[in-house]
Amino acid sequence: MPQAASPSETRWQRLVRSLLYGRGVDRRVKAKARLGLAIVAFAGIYAAIALRLVIFAEQSEWHGAHRTVSQDAVATARPDILDRKGRILATDVKAPSLYAEPRKLIDADEAEELLTATMPDLESKELRERLTSKRGFVWLKREITPKQEQEIHRLGIPGIGFLSENKRVYPNGPTVSQVIGLVNIDNQGIAGMEKWLDGQGLAALHMAGLASDRLQRPVQLSLDLRAQYALRDELAKAREKFKAKASAGVILNVNTGEIVALVSEPDYDPNNPREANDPSRINRMTTGVFEMGSTFKVLTVAMALDSGKATLRSTFDASHPLHYGRFAIHDYEPKGRALSVPEIFTFSSNIGAARMALAVGVEGHKAFLKKMGQLDRLRTELPESAEPLVPKHWGELNTVTIAFGHGLSVAPLQAAMGVAATVNGGLLIRPTFLKRSEAQAMRIARRVLKAETSRDMRYLLRLNAEKGTGTFANVDGYYVGGKTGTAEKVVNGHYAKHKLLTDFMAILPADKPKYLVLILLDEPQAVPGTHGFATAGWNAGPTAGKVIARVAPLLDLEPRFALPKSDQLILANAVSSR
């Protein structure tokens, strides 16, 4: 009997049993109980569905948050670029960008109207095209201001959103532009050190979507921002004063090869990339090649001294112009007699330099310039570089002209590297834009000259600043040495008398050189105060002097006074050892 419940059954079980199965139970009660059970079951199912919905909602929100994080990386984060003392040359800041998802737009016309009302610089036609396209995602405007972001946010247009992107800023404007280069709107380097950075694996990181992190190590350059600015300021003044087409300059540490400052003016503001494409704003120090003029005599004399074909006491005949076929080599100020090596250098005698080169011979000359890195493209970290223009058939005439800096076009930085090797003890060190210690430099340095030759060259350069063509660059207290160079530019295959390129190579201090300063002026004019001259001694030389006076204190060079003349200070050891 069902009712006769076994004692092991609990009261609850008994109740359920009697309600569901018992015959004696009232049918209405039974129906009610079944209904109740169904209600409970369905309520459970609905509760499960509701719960699941809540979870879905939560999850999709979480997905959204995740997406914005990854979209932070749309424009690559780049490491900061610092100067040698840690001052910022380039850095990233976050800037919002405006985008639309056209498929989610409800009313494209309304959106367009509202947007153009708040941001009048948006092109209405282009905007409409973008908003009505069938694509899932379109940029409307990159890098808007926070204020604009606020205003558009308040419009509340569905399908319009913001992404925060990395924006590259150059706080120093055009001051370092020729070295740093710039980036495009996607924060990829397109010139200068920025492009070099991309070549260092940053581009690959970007591809992998890993370059969103700010924790990348900053890159420290060899530049000194203050020296760079001083150089640029003086070059800009010089360009204006001498009405030159362009001016350029470099300060090179001769013992490490570090480039402390490099300017090529006119330059551009990397915050405004449109200027950068103007061909007159190229970097003349590395991308241009020039006939350097008489500064090349430094290399010629160093070659003659190093080969043993000449000593400081040798003399060379400069009494008559040198004739080669229909060419005649003249001196700027003919002396009409034999000149000693120091005289050739300080008078800047073309004939003397040519004779010195001829004494070494064509093959020797060529091999020497090759050794000094003047015949091959100089590669630094900058992606832009230029191949020197070397004569195809190098005959005696070529040797004669190249001896005084015509007929071979090199990048000015390249010439600076060669001259640095003649004064730093005879070591050729490839220039760099990255910080480098002296020990690191020694590892890559190549001995190209004897130490004695280098000492003689220091003497000659100092002598030239004491009583030669470089007197205008002689800044009291810094023991400057230097050599001028004036080259006529080639126009339509002929040398043009009044289109000059003037340059000046200065070393300081000459007894123990630390820095080389190269100043270059493109087509300077004779102006009041230069007595009708436009040669280097009147423009590039004084400019170098001004630069040195301003930059030397910044580079921690101590001024020294009452130093003896060059023949006593620099050659003293030589005399005592002989």
Partner 1 sequence: MRYLHILVIGALILAASFVYKIKFDSTLQAEQVAKLHGELRRERNAVATLRAEWAKLDTPSRIQALADRHLDLKPVKPRQFANFDDLPMRPLEVVPPLSGDPISAMLRLSAPETTGSLPAPTAAPR
Q: How far apart are the first and last CA of the chain?
A: 137
Name which position in 71, 91, 148, 340 contacts partner 1 (CB under 8 A).
91
169 vs 490 by CB, closer to partner 1: 169
Question: In whole angstroms, what is the distance from residue 32 CA to residue 407 CA?
Answer: 113
386 vs 552 by CB, closer to partner 1: 552
Q: What SS3 state is found at 182?
A: coil
Here the contacts of 553-559 (C-beta below 8 Å, separation 24 or greater) are 554/224, 554/226, 554/227, 554/230, 555/224, 555/227, 555/251, 555/260, 555/514, 555/515, 557/478, 557/508, 557/509, 557/514, 557/515, 559/476, 559/477, 559/478
User: Of 196-225, which residues contact partner 1 (CB under 8 A)?
Assistant: 214, 225
Name which position in 44, 158, 171, 201 contacts partner 1 (CB under 8 A).
171
412 vs 545 by CB, closer to partner 1: 545
Question: Which tokens hold the place of 327?
Answer: 């060419």
Using a 10 angstrom Cβ sphere, with 0-12 exposed, 13-18 middle and 19 or more buried, the burial of residue 64 is exposed
Q: Which is the catalytic residue, given 294, 349, 409, 454?
A: 294
Question: In whole angstroms, what is the distance from residue 520 CA to residue 536 CA?
Answer: 9
34 contributes a contact to partner 1 by CB under 8 A: no
243 contributes a contact to partner 1 by CB under 8 A: no
Is 363 within 8 Å of 395 (Cβ atoms)? no
Residue (of 253, 278, 258) closest to 268 by Cα position: 278
Residues 6+ apart with CB under 8 A from 556: none
Binding mask 424-463 for partner 1 (x = CB under 8 A): ----------------------------------------
Question: In whole angstroms, what is the distance from residue 13 CA to residue 22 CA?
Answer: 12
19 contributes a contact to partner 1 by CB under 8 A: no
DSSP string, 296-313: GHHHHHHHHHHHTS--TT
175 contributes a contact to partner 1 by CB under 8 A: yes
Selected range binding partner 1 among 19-27, 90-98, 124-132, 317-325, rule: CB under 8 A: 90-98
Least distance to partner 1, CB of residue 84, Å? 15
Amino acid (1-letter code) at residue 312: L
How many residues are recorded in the chain? Answer: 578
Q: Residue 385 catalytic?
A: no
Selected range binding partner 1 among 130-138, 227-235, 424-432, 520-528, rule: CB under 8 A: 227-235
Helices 412-423 and 297-307 sit at what angle, rounded to 10 degrees?
Answer: 40
Binding mask 38-77 for partner 1 (x = CB under 8 A): ----------------------------------------
126 vs 240 by CB, closer to partner 1: 240
12 vs 561 by CB, closer to partner 1: 561
251 vs 298 by CB, closer to partner 1: 251
Name which position in 130, 195, 206, 226 contacts partner 1 (CB under 8 A).
226
Least distance to partner 1, CB of residue 477, Å? 3
424: left (phi over 0), alpha (psi -120 to 50) or beta: alpha
User: Of 536-565, which residues contact partner 1 (CB under 8 A)?
Assistant: 549-550, 552-553, 558-559, 561
Residue (of 290, 227, 307, 440) closest to 430 by Cα position: 440
Question: Which tokens hold the place of 423?
Answer: 């004064």
68 vs 573 by CB, closer to partner 1: 68
User: Of 473-532, which residues contact partner 1 (CB under 8 A)?
Assistant: 475-478
Name which position in 18, 97, 172, 432 contacts partner 1 (CB under 8 A).
172
Is 324 within 8 Å of 397 (Cβ atoms)? yes
Binding mask 150-169 for partner 1 (x = CB under 8 A): -------------------x
Binding mask 304-343 for partner 1 (x = CB under 8 A): ----------------------------------------
321 vs 559 by CB, closer to partner 1: 559
Residues annotated catalytic, as ranges: 294
Summarize as ranges the residues that interact with partner 1 (CB under 8 A): 87-88, 91-94, 169, 171-173, 175, 214, 225-226, 229-230, 233, 475-478, 549-550, 552-553, 558-559, 561
